[in-house]
Amino acid sequence: MTTVGLVSFDGKDEENLVAGHYSRGRGPVLRSDQMELTKITFDAGEGADMHQHPEEQILYVLAGVLEVTVGDETYEVHPGQASFHPSNVWHRAVARERTTALSFKNLVAPNYEKTGELH
């Protein structure tokens, strides 16, 4: 039985390549009509190449460290911290060590497949 409002990743889809055309991150991608939530893991040295998208995005680091570039600013994001990526601003992320983060996006024009639904 699915509980409305409860979000569970259930350890499923951990090997799903999220956005293979610009990222080596893996994990489940859940969507509703208006939002996307991804639990994404990058191995050390891997990440997402410089890219942009119409969705605003927040990357909240659960474990590990990401080096993030947004526009012309580069900084590290540690557990308990997040990085905000405005709409259509170029950004990239590189894991300094194995890193798991939650990616939150307002849904505009997704360009990769979801693995489940947000209810």
> 38 has which bridge partners?
29, 103
Domains of the chain in start order, with CATH, are 29-108 (2.60.120.10)
Tell me the two tokens of residue 17: 């390549």
Rg (the chain; Cα; Å)? 14
**CA-based max dimension of the chain:** 46
What per-residue confidence (pLDDT) applies to 76?
Answer: 98
Map residue 96 onto helix, strand or coil: coil
What per-residue confidence (pLDDT) applies to 81?
Answer: 98
Tens digit of each residue's pLDDT, the chain (119 residues): 566 788 888 788 888 777 877 888 899 998 888 999 999 999 999 999 999 999 999 999 999 999 999 999 999 999 999 999 999 999 999 999 999 999 999 977 777 778 777 76
Determine if the pTM surpasses 0.75: yes
What per-residue confidence (pLDDT) applies to 4?
Answer: 75
